[in-house]
Amino acid sequence: MLHNKKTIGFLAGFTMLLLVGCYKDKTVILDTGTEITRPVNLATDIIPIFSKSCAVSGCHTAGGIKPDLSTANAYGSLTVGNYFNTTTPESSILYQWMSGKKGTPMPTTGINKDYNALVLAWIKQGAKNN
């Protein structure tokens, strides 16, 4: 009987160790693409990213998952929701999600270094509604 208790205890402990060891709460991507130094424009650079990858049916659209990244609502939704931080751009929620530092990377199709670099540059340049 003592042998069975030890075996059960060992298996329970081993199972817990596996479960804890496999837990993943963050994906950290260090390479976010080449830094962009040219002026980045919301309408011509950022909105097309949102339109193609984020503001699609069932995702970041009006009535969907926040923020609403549809063309007409993206800037207002990002501003009101405090999704960007021009003081410390790398800590911006928008950038954190896109780069995989806040959880599952967005868009769900996978990390796009070029998109991330554009969004980070836009935030660094003041996240203007241009």
Question: Domain-by-domain residue ranges, the chain?
Answer: 26-124
Question: Could you tell me which of 67, 89, 90 has the C-alpha nearest to residue 79?
Answer: 67
Separation between Cα atoms, residue 92 and residue 30, nearest integer Å: 15
Give pLDDT tens digits for 77-105. Answer: 999 999 999 999 999 999 999 999 988 88
Separation between Cα atoms, residue 48 and residue 119, nearest integer Å: 11
Give pLDDT tens digits for 39-81. Answer: 999 999 999 999 999 998 889 999 999 999 999 999 999 999 9
Give the global pTM.
0.74
Helices vs strands, H then E, count in the chain: 5, 0
